[in-house]
């Protein structure tokens, strides 16, 4: 095997790390490569291998997306608690919706409706002289100048 090629064992390791949410920098470091070397080797790798690594990254991304959604909407889970007498009981714990997660979700999923900056397109002309004259007239009528 040429040193510039990715072998089956390396591909499996990269896919497992990608599925665990590792970044390209972390993937490269785990192989003893630079990020540029990782990208160069992936560029020369068979499409199937690259596809497997992309799919593994998508699994991690989907998990985070689901967690963010749950956080935005609120969620509940069962927890075990130990009572003072030593008995273990299962209780349902409820986590309320998180406003920050809601905003983050909506800004990314519906950017036109939820972005901070609104863009307003102006068409036509503004007659600043008329605006200034009207303001002066109001000021004089109010006893000003």
Q: Quick check: is 33 in a domain?
A: yes
Question: What confidence score (pLDDT) does residue 34 get?
Answer: 94
Q: Quick check: is 57 in a domain?
A: yes
- Residue 70 · residue 84 · CB < 8 Å: no
23-36 pLDDT tens trace: 999 999 999 999 99
Q: What is the mean pLDDT of residues 42-47?
A: 90
Question: What confidence score (pLDDT) does residue 116 get?
Answer: 81
For residues 1 and 98, the model is more confident at 98
Question: What confidence score (pLDDT) does residue 113 get?
Answer: 86
Q: How far apart are CA 144 and CA 123, in angstroms?
A: 34
Question: Distance of CA 78 to CAs 36, 106, 142, Å?
Answer: 45, 28, 69
Q: Quick check: is 109 in a domain?
A: yes
Q: Quick check: is 26 in a domain?
A: yes
Q: Quick check: is 143 in a domain?
A: no
Domain count for the chain, please give it. 1
Backbone angles phi, psi at 78, to 5 degrees: -90, 135
Q: Quick check: is 105 in a domain?
A: yes
Q: Quick check: is 125 in a domain?
A: no
Q: How far apart are CA 42 and CA 50, in angstroms?
A: 6
Q: How far apart are CA 55 and CA 53, in angstroms?
A: 5
- Global confidence as pTM: 0.61
């Amino acid at each position: 095997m040429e040193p510039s090629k990715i072998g089956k064992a390396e591909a499996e390791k990269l896919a497992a790390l990608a599925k665990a949410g590792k970044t390209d920098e972390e993937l490269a470091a785990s192989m003893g490569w630079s990020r540029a070397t990782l990208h160069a080797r992936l560029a020369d790798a068979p499409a199937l291998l690259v596809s497997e690594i992309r799919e593994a990254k998508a699994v991690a991304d989907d998990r985070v997306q689901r967690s963010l959604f749950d956080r935005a909407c609120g969620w509940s889970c069962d927890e075990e608690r130990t009572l003072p007498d030593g008995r273990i009981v299962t209780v349902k714990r409820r986590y309320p919706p998180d406003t920050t997660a809601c905003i983050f979700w909506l800004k990314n999923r519906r950017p036109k409706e939820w972005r901070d900056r609104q863009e307003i397109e102006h068409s036509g002309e503004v007659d600043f002289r008329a605006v200034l004259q009207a303001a002066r007239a109001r000021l004089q009528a109010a006893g000003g100048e």
